[in-house]
Amino acid sequence: MKPPPFDYARADSVDEAVSLLAHHRGGAKLLAGGQSLVPMLNFRLLHPALLVDVNRISGLAGIEERNGALRIGALTRHRQIEVSRAVGDHFPVLRTAVRHVAHLAIRNRGTLGGSLAHADPAAELPMMALLLDAKIEISGPNGPRRLEAREFFRSALTTALDDAEMVTGVELPLLPPATGWGFEEVARRAGDFALAAAAATLTLAAGGKVAEARLAIMGAHEFPLRIAAAEARLAGEAPCSGALGAAAKAAREAVEPDDDLHASADLRRHLVEVLARRALESAARRARELAAQVTGGRAP
Amino acid sequence: MSEQRTIRLTVNGASFEREVEPRRLLADFLREDLGLTGTHIGCEHGVCGACTIILDGDSARSCLTLAVQADGAQVQTVEGLGTVDALHPLQRAFREHHALQCGFCTPGMLMAALDLLRKHPSPTEREIREGLSGNLCRCTGYEHIVRAVRTAAAAGETVGAETETASAAPPREAGAGAQSRGSARE
Amino acid sequence: MTNLRPGLIGARVQRLEDPRLLAGRGCYVDDLRRTGALHVAFCRSDESHARILRIDTSEAARAPGVAAVVTAADLEGACRPLRATSRMPSYQATELPVLAGDKVRYAGEPVAAVLAESRYLAEDAAERVAIDYEPLPAATDPEAALAPDAPRLHEDLASNVIVDREFARGDAEAALAGAAVRVSGCFRMGRKTPAAIENRGYLAEYDEGRRRLTLHSCTQVPGIVRDALAELLDLPGHRLRVVAPDVGGGFGAKVSLYREEVLVSILARRLGRPVKWTSDRREDLMSTTQAFDEVVRAELGVDEDGAILGLRAEIVGDVGAYSVYPWTAAVEPVQVASFLSGPYRVPDYRGRVRAAATPKPPTGAYRGVGRPPAVFAMERLLDMAARRLGMDPRDIRRRNLVRDGEFPYRAPSGLVWDRAAFTGCLERACETIGYDELREMQAAARAEGRRIGIGLASYAELTGVGSRIAVAPGMPINTGTESAAIRIDSTGAVTATFGVSSQGQGIETTLAQVVAEELGARLEDVEIVHGDSAALSHGTGTYASRSAIQAGGAAIVCARSLREKVIEAASHLLESAPADIEVTGGAVSVAGTDRRMSFRELARAVYTEMGRLPREVRERVDLEATGVYDPFWGTTSPATHAALVEVDPETFEVEVLRYVVAEDCGRVINPLIADGQVHGGVAQGIGAALFEEMVHDPSGQLLTASFVDYVVPSAAEIPSMEVEHLETSAENNVGGFRGIGEGGTIGAPAAVANAIADALGVEIEELPATPERLFRLIGPGRRAAGARMETGPGGRGRGNRFTANQTNSGGRSESGSGPTRQSK
């Protein structure tokens, strides 16, 4: 299991990386953390002509808050997201999710941009981009563009990126106050790809009704999904167990899983409903607690 | 075949300059080109953790890293931890608790434990088990490994001292190091 | 045996091998560097059963750095045929070719070998080998393979039935007919692989000047490999040396002779260059021996008090394509039948076992060999019977375990249990886990909707099997004895040499403890040499929980005879009667005096200082001894495992909350090491119970060809464990030892399965108890119960990320015809 031969170029800028990609027309692959790419090379599932190493491009990593959003550079390592104070403050759901990504040694190397571009249907960060309405910043031969996360994931391991484009960062709009969250995952082992996972945020309006609910799932569909029917079902409702349960059922109906080695489609559908319900329940509980803090101690 | 590249890096405090093919895995580079066979290869797809090393201050899989990527880097392998006659405190704790049998996963386990303890100096048992979950051991059932890591953590200063000696290998990005230490407070 | 005088045997000694392994200074086969070495990459079959129509190696042979591309045609006449023989009447031997010739019989079978300057270049060239196959029909299901009209895997055999054997005592049918309660099930554990973290690796080098071949192998059995290669290659033992250096785990995976070992040996001699092959993980998962793949249909009958009346079983082993050398494909399924009755009084028994050749990788020894599936079936049946009777699982075991007054007890298959702590282990395990309190806690938890279960499993195994009952009849090897040689050299240093070898068991420490104590040496002065066929006339290796008994026994008899020589020399040198000479702490002394000599002084006097000993003493008393030990019978090692689990009834995740083992390994040599052996075995057993499964699709393609899909548990999935040792003296061997290496894996699958069954109120008949299986048993998925899960590549989840179309480590090929795809 040794990689096939390829050439290697170290890009010093995004423009250089993009022009190398454009020059090789699909024969080049970007090398960021390499935690998904290198195993595929070792298995000789890929035979790229060129690897473009983007690890030394300055300014591509980092987390900063600006204009009501958190911007995370594409080269930011999972570990940096995990320990970022800003992420912890604004997106505890993201911090929780990223802790489910593989293991410490993998998180030390793996990058946000790499995870999004790889688009594994059971990977946490694509689902989180979707849940958090990420704007995905892309650079290509024709300059930069931005895509909504929901336009980005096309199918398993396939995104809206062209051969010569790369992700440079994401922007996550901050959530309103009194937004609770939940994250639930079932995997065979700690750090394994999920059999299924669900993540939710829930924002309460005054009076305890749901102002906005978001629900995303992964591992049970070709790509991570936002469950619009569930979100619509909850909007304007009190987050009682009946409503949350109905929303979770909507998630089950929205997914189209396949059978694979570790779980049947039936089990995945079932897990989606269970995990969606648990994630929504956690989100509702946390939202009520936050609202209670705001209103001085009494849960609505 | 592709063109050879020249890389310069520091391994266990010593500088090296070598020609490598771009596809050469860092694990093979360490083992074959530098003769540092303490780093073992168990799966070459990032699951077993036997090849774990410290790359610029953080644990990394040397089977998922190309040698060319380590150009300019500071690498620490098990050979840089302690010697047969002067074991590192973590190695001593492994011996005291019989935390190794065949020894094949051990170098990777040690390097993973080292990074874990630098980032979580006082881990709970659950944190130890999850922190080492990227390293498979087939011999010990992990029981004695967990005890050894707990003992090393309780001896605190031992691993802290290592952090200081490892300051010869600072993280490339100062910010990353600060964040790593910040995580220790969690 | 109680240790009256505090000594080294029984002490928690830190391991002597640890410093080098901890410091990265161990030396495993892949760590060996040889100038001019060639590296092998194999083209492995991507068909499970097919005729090889054409192999085109021309392009690969021209690839950069390639020295040779070898196929079966190039190996004709290179060695004698490799066939595992047996005297079992129904046994049909299969020939194991070094490379597949006219036919392939499993996906992953080696078809061509590329030798190149590096593994990278060898893999590049392997991608350029074109192999055309004509697929043949295949019976991948073992029961289907038994049918007379099933497609035959080996044309030279009469059928796919490799062995057909029956064990019987009394009239099981009549006993069952008269039973108050009869329970039955069809039990399957699923195919497992030992998955040592060190993949297999071999390096052969040929010294043309001395016409001497050396094979460095990660084998557990250097002696067996040497003897077999000597036959195959027609070389005398002094021109063929097999060395096992540090070995990164074995667990049975490395006890068979592998075709890759033969191949590198042939080619090193032929090419005059060192030849090295290091398996990668994908190759390991499809070419190293696999195990535990039996279908056990069994029925148990008990009376109204729970006493066992009769047991019968039909066992079909899915043994894969070839009989492994030397153990044969019968080694595991036959033991399922012979051990099925467990540590219980079973008056009437009939167990028939058939081994079916299937187009899958060969099965072989894996920790526990046959007993994990046997214990899983029997312990489940006991719990099923207890449930029907409304009896507690502990009570039905108390009712049926062979009791202290009943030893030696002849089990219905003919195995004889010597006196050991059968009931003692059960009681101690229950006491340690707090069985009664847990039952109360369980009831309270159930009231809250939590699903908590307690599982017990009791078993007995036979360890250190001596020459009277060879591991399998008619094998060309002697598994009953081991030898040792101990010498005090002219510097006074003690070197003890053994035919066993270590894959992590710590024998450099435990054997040093035995030698030091028996000889009167200091531990630090004893060096243990093992794993080198050239070091002794005969030895086999480490397997079947025998090293403590056989090698420990040899250490004792050998050290005692050396001690006699030391005493004789000392009595002359210290001018005292032999009876007054004491040997302790690496020195000899005269009791009650200050006359004393260190081993170093003694050795100098004996070897170097002429005239200090009379001539006849000098000629007789060399400070060396050899010894062979044969325990003749085997020694019984019993245990009870107790597991506490919780099942999430919505997600079907199982968490093992507590785990207790009470076992009797006789006299413990080193408690630290004994605990470690149990822990490791239990972790593999939990892996077998909950996670690990080799999955082949109906066409015989391996779907679990990576560590992503073959799920080995990590520290996060394995619970903390408590181990209790009951030390019943094993009077049938000189050391009083019982084997301990395999038991953990024998008991754990059954204990965990029983705990899950207890938690959920269902019967578990298939392992691993994955979320999918539990979903089908208790969840909304039970509608589809009975239908095995459709598995296949290309799912959208995490499965099969690295499997599809990648059976081959190179040599991409297409069935029938067509061009070979080139690397891009």
pLDDT at residue C811 tops 50? no
| Per-window interface: C 508-547 vs B, CB < 8 A | none
Q: Give the pLDDT confidence score for residue B185 in this predicted structure.
A: 30
Q: Nearest-CA distance from C794 to chain A in Å?
A: 7
Q: What is the mean pLDDT of chain B?
A: 87
What integer is the mean pLDDT of C369-391?
A: 98
Using 50, 70 and 90 to split pLDDT, how confident is the model at C786?
A: very low
What integer is the mean pLDDT of C493-520?
A: 97
Q: What is the DSSP string of C603-655?
A: HIIIIISTTSS-HHHHHH--SEEEEEE--SS-EEEEEEEEEEEEE-TTT--EE
pLDDT at residue C703 tops 80? yes
Which alpha helices (DSSP H) does C417-542 contain, by range?
422-433, 435-447, 507-519
Nearest to C790 among A187, A189, A264 (CB): A264
What residue of B is the nearest CA neighbor of C282?
A: B43
Q: Give the pLDDT confidence score for residue A281 in this predicted structure.
A: 98
Q: Is C235 exposed, middle or buried (0-12, 13-18, 19+ CB in 10 A)?
A: middle
- Separation between Cα atoms, residue A105 and residue C714, nearest integer Å: 15
Number of CB pairs < 8 Å for B and C? 197
Looking at chain C, how many residues does it have? 824
Q: Give the pLDDT confidence score for residue C6 in this predicted structure.
A: 59
User: Does B66 share its domain with B112?
Assistant: no
User: Does B125 share its domain with B74?
Assistant: no
Element (H, E) at C203: strand C201-207
User: Does B24 share its domain with B74?
Assistant: yes
pLDDT at residue B158 tops 70? no
- Separation between Cα atoms, residue B8 and residue B10, nearest integer Å: 7
Name every residue whose Cβ is closer than 8 Å to that of residue C770 and which is 6 or more positions away in sequence.
A188, A262, C652, C690, C691, C693
Query: What is the torsional sign of CA B164, B166, B169, B174?
Result: negative
Report how far apart the first and last C-alpha atoms of chain A are (Å, whole number): 58
Number of Cα atoms under 13 Å in the Cβ half of residue A89: 9
- Could you count the other beta carbons within 10 Å of the beta carbon of residue B22? 22
What residue of B is the nearest CA neighbor of A59?
A: B173
Q: Is the model more confident about C119 or about C780?
A: C119
- In terms of Cα–Cα distance, which of A238, A124, A143 is closest to A187? A124
Q: Domain boundary residue among B48, B80, B112?
A: B80
Q: Give the pLDDT confidence score for residue C28 in this predicted structure.
A: 98
Say if residue B121 is preceded by a cis peptide, omega within 30 of 0. no
Collapsing DSSP states into helix, strand and coil, what is residue B149? Answer: helix
Q: What is the DSSP string of C209-224?
A: TTTEEEEEE--S-HHH
Collapsing DSSP states into helix, strand and coil, what is residue C112? Answer: strand
Q: What is the DSSP string of C723-749?
A: EEE-----TTSTT-B---SSHHHHHHH
Q: Nearest-CA distance from B93 to chain A in Å?
A: 22
In this complex, the chains that touch A, judged by 3 or more CB pairs closer than 8 A, are: B, C
Contacts of C792 in chain A (CB under 8 A): 259-260
Nearest to A1 among C281, C772, C824 (CB): C281
Q: Give the pLDDT confidence score for residue A35 in this predicted structure.
A: 97
User: Does B29 share its domain with B52?
Assistant: yes
Q: Domain boundary residue among B49, B80, B111?
A: B80
- Separation between Cα atoms, residue C753 and residue A115, nearest integer Å: 38
Name every residue whose Cβ is closer than 8 Å to that of residue C217 and which is 6 or more positions away in sequence.
C29, C201, C202, C225, C242, C243, C244, C261
- The answer to whether residue C823 neighbours chain A at the CB level (below 8 Å) is yes
The residue written with tokens 């980005």 in the block is A152
- The answer to whether residue B136 neighbours chain A at the CB level (below 8 Å) is no
- Separation between Cα atoms, residue B127 and residue B146, nearest integer Å: 10
Nearest to B48 among C27, C197, C246 (CB): C197
The residue written with tokens 């999710």 in the block is A97
Residue B18 CA: distances (Å) to CA of B32, B74, B75, C117: 12, 15, 15, 19
Instruction: Verify whether the Cβ–Cβ distance B38 to C30 is below 8 Å.
Output: no
Instruction: Verify whether the Cβ–Cβ distance A189 to C809 is below 8 Å.
Output: no
B131 in a domain, yes or no?
yes
- Separation between Cα atoms, residue C177 and residue C55, nearest integer Å: 59
Q: Which CATH class is domain A7-52?
A: alpha beta
User: Does B54 share its domain with B110?
Assistant: no
Q: Encoding tokens for residue A184? A: 């639930």
- In terms of Cα–Cα distance, which of B87, C486, C523, C653 is closest to A185? C653
Fold of the domain built from segment(s) C32-136+198-248+254-287: Aldehyde Oxidoreductase; domain 3 (3.90.1170)
Q: What is the mean pLDDT of chain C?
A: 93
Q: Give the pLDDT confidence score for residue C470 in this predicted structure.
A: 63
CATH 3.30.365.10 fits C18-25+481-629, yes or no: yes
Using 50, 70 and 90 to split pLDDT, how confident is the model at C780?
A: confident
- Separation between Cα atoms, residue C180 and residue A55, nearest integer Å: 73
Q: What is the DSSP string of C761-814?
A: TS---BSS--HHHHHHHHSGGGGGTTSPP---S--SSSTTTTTTT---SS----
φ/ψ of C387, rounded to 5, equals -60, -45
Q: Encoding tokens for residue C16? A: 């002597």
Report how far apart the first and last C-alpha atoms of chain C are (Å, whole number): 68
Q: Give the pLDDT confidence score for residue C476 in this predicted structure.
A: 78
pLDDT at residue C81 tops 50? yes
User: Does B93 share its domain with B142?
Assistant: yes
Residue pair C309/C350 in contact (Cβ under 8 Å)? The answer is no
Q: Write the CATH number for B26.
A: 3.10.20.30
pLDDT at residue A55 tops 70? yes
In percent, the amount of chain A with pLDDT more than 90 equals 95
Residue pair C312/C381 in contact (Cβ under 8 Å)? The answer is no
Instruction: Verify whether the Cβ–Cβ distance C651 to A221 is below 8 Å.
Output: no
ipTM of predicted assembly, 2 dp: 0.96
CATH number for the region C161-193+289-467+632-784 comes to 3.30.365.10
In this complex, the chains that touch B, judged by 3 or more CB pairs closer than 8 A, are: A, C
- The answer to whether residue C785 neighbours chain A at the CB level (below 8 Å) is no
Residue pair C530/C498 in contact (Cβ under 8 Å)? The answer is yes
Using 50, 70 and 90 to split pLDDT, how confident is the model at C800?
A: low
B180 in a domain, yes or no?
no
- Could you count the other beta carbons within 10 Å of the beta carbon of residue A297? 7
Using 50, 70 and 90 to split pLDDT, how confident is the model at B2?
A: confident
What integer is the mean pLDDT of A122-134?
A: 97
User: Does B68 share its domain with B132?
Assistant: no
Contacts of C28 in chain B (CB under 8 A): 37, 40, 104
Collapsing DSSP states into helix, strand and coil, what is residue C94? Answer: coil
User: Does B28 share its domain with B61?
Assistant: yes
Instruction: Verify whether the Cβ–Cβ distance A53 to B69 is below 8 Å.
Output: yes
Chain centroid to Cα C457, Å, comes to: 21
Using 50, 70 and 90 to split pLDDT, how confident is the model at C473?
A: low
Residue pair B98/C676 in contact (Cβ under 8 Å)? The answer is yes
Which alpha helices (DSSP H) does C182-249 contain, by range?
222-233
Contacts of C709 in chain A (CB under 8 A): 261-262
Q: Residue ranges per domain, chain A?
A: 7-52, 63-173, 179-295
Name every residue whose Cβ is closer than 8 Å to that of residue C1 and which is 6 or more positions away in sequence.
C666, C667, C727, C729, C736
B159 in a domain, yes or no?
yes
Q: Encoding tokens for residue B147? A: 């005890």
**DSSP assignment letter at A83:** H
Identity of residue C138: A
B182 in a domain, yes or no?
no
Nearest to C14 among B48, B96, B140 (CB): B96
Instruction: Verify whether the Cβ–Cβ distance C797 to A192 is below 8 Å.
Output: no
* Chain A contacts to B (CB-CB under 8 A): 1-8, 10, 31, 34-35, 38-39, 41-43, 51, 53, 55, 61-62, 77, 79-80, 82-85, 102-106, 108-109, 189-191
Q: Nearest-CA distance from B171 to chain A in Å?
A: 11
pLDDT at residue C604 tops 60? yes
- The answer to whether residue C718 neighbours chain B at the CB level (below 8 Å) is yes
- Could you count the other beta carbons within 10 Å of the beta carbon of residue C578? 11
Bridge pairing between strands C494-498 and C482-488: antiparallel
Using 50, 70 and 90 to split pLDDT, how confident is the model at C781?
A: confident
Nearest to A104 among B1, B59, B186 (CB): B59
What integer is the mean pLDDT of C1-21?
A: 82
Element (H, E) at C295: strand C294-302
Fold of the domain built from segment(s) A179-295: Enolase-like; domain 1 (3.30.390)
Q: Write the CATH number for B94.
A: 1.10.150.120
Q: How many domains does chain B have?
A: 2
Contacts of B149 in chain C (CB under 8 A): none
CATH 3.40.640.10 fits A63-173, yes or no: no
Q: What is the CA radius of gyration of chain A?
A: 20
Residue pair C297/C184 in contact (Cβ under 8 Å)? The answer is yes
B117 in a domain, yes or no?
yes
Element (H, E) at A225: strand A225-226
Contacts of B146 in chain C (CB under 8 A): 715, 720
Residue pair B90/B110 in contact (Cβ under 8 Å)? The answer is yes
Query: What is the per-residue pLDDT across A145-175, written as a single tens digit (0 to 9) for each?
Result: 999 999 999 999 999 999 999 999 999 999 9
Q: Domain boundary residue among B51, B80, B109?
A: B80
Residue A157 CA: distances (Å) to CA of A195, A265, C478, C486: 17, 19, 55, 62
Boundaries of domain holding B24: 5-80
φ/ψ of C798, rounded to 5, equals -90, -10
Element (H, E) at B145: helix B143-154
Q: Nearest-CA distance from B81 to chain C in Å?
A: 7
Query: What is the per-residue pLDDT across C44-72, written as a single tens digit (0 to 9) for each?
Result: 999 999 999 999 999 999 999 999 999 99
Residue pair C807/C705 in contact (Cβ under 8 Å)? The answer is yes
Which alpha helices (DSSP H) does chain A contain, by range?
14-24, 37-42, 78-83, 85-90, 92-99, 104-109, 112-118, 124-131, 149-152, 228-234, 241-254, 265-295
Query: What is the torsional sign of CA A144, A148, A149, A150?
Result: negative
Residue C278 CA: distances (Å) to CA of B4, C28, C143, C806: 25, 11, 35, 19
Query: What is the per-residue pLDDT across C426-453, written as a single tens digit (0 to 9) for each?
Result: 999 999 999 999 999 999 999 999 999 9
Q: Give the pLDDT confidence score for residue C823 in this predicted structure.
A: 30
Q: Do domains C18-25+481-629 and C161-193+289-467+632-784 have the same CATH topology?
A: yes
Name every residue whose Cβ is closer than 8 Å to that of residue C585 and which is 6 or more positions away in sequence.
C520, C521, C522
Q: Nearest-CA distance from A247 to chain C in Å?
A: 17
Instruction: Verify whether the Cβ–Cβ distance B130 to A34 is below 8 Å.
Output: no
- Could you count the other beta carbons within 10 Å of the beta carbon of residue B166? 18
Element (H, E) at C309: strand C308-320
Nearest to C281 among B45, B82, B144 (CB): B45
Q: Give the pLDDT confidence score for residue C779 in this predicted structure.
A: 81
| Per-window interface: B 75-104 vs A, CB < 8 A | none
Q: Give the pLDDT confidence score for residue C810 in this predicted structure.
A: 37
Q: Give the pLDDT confidence score for residue B184 in this predicted structure.
A: 29
Beta strand extents in C36-160 (DSSP E only): 38-44, 50-56, 66-71, 82-83, 95-96, 103-104, 110-116, 130-135
- Separation between Cα atoms, residue B21 and residue B42, nearest integer Å: 22
